[in-house]
Structure 1
């Protein structure tokens, strides 16, 4: 298991490419720009060998990268659930405007026809960046329940395509 802390998350070193006897090598440079000596370099190299030599390292790295990817995509299923991304709801409630032209749509989940003649409000998916490629009328719903179902379908397909468990956030 990989454990991150703020102090360890950002390396105190950068690598500088060097040529040694015609071969590519690297030396360490600290945050102030000073080159680190062989003792520190060898110590870090041994720690790298220890970590990368572990049989379970690839799975641990893959799991950690998936966790970071979910964070970068704005998900925190344990704290905010499935219907919040980047701290905002993924769907909103809209109201038909009495003073604009009458329009209608069919609910993207249940197929019910929705217009101001039927009900004064509707719901629509607002946050699908990176989850769904296009914005269509099927992003609109007759109810909050249907909006959640539409989002669930988008999210579960995205989770499946990215090899995550579709049980996340349930």
Structure 2
């Protein structure tokens, strides 16, 4: 389960790199694809917020039965809530733009930058503090129990899996082009 969570972070980092590139280009006055940005945020809402973060929460709550780490747990759960709010806010802005409502470019740049910074800081916290705690605390039996508990939350990644799912097709093509460079 921990390798899956780490792998999700690698995938999310790819998307955050794309968003960072987009807000920098937008800040420079260049045209960007807002539908591509919407697809990234939609992926984050659909997969990260409804599968990845709940899995982290379950694993971490299980870990807390073995160790005491109250301060970290409060922070972890609060950050997951803040990320949900940030995604919803950004999606609202993107919906306005995609429906031809004028939104100040500077505001969009700032919103995208804030979103990326929040996501990156959250992943850094998990990778520096949460994942090492899980690795040092949990044994094979614990991971088996967690896998059983998480089975109903385990969702195939709609973007980075090898199935023929057409969801996020434009985003998949964009990522493939970036990897070729």
**TM-score scaled to structure 1, two decimals?**
0.25
RCO comparison, higher one (Cα < 8 Å, 6+): 2
Greater C-alpha Rg: 1
The structure whose residues are more often strand, as a share, is 1
**TM-score scaled to structure 2, two decimals?**
0.24
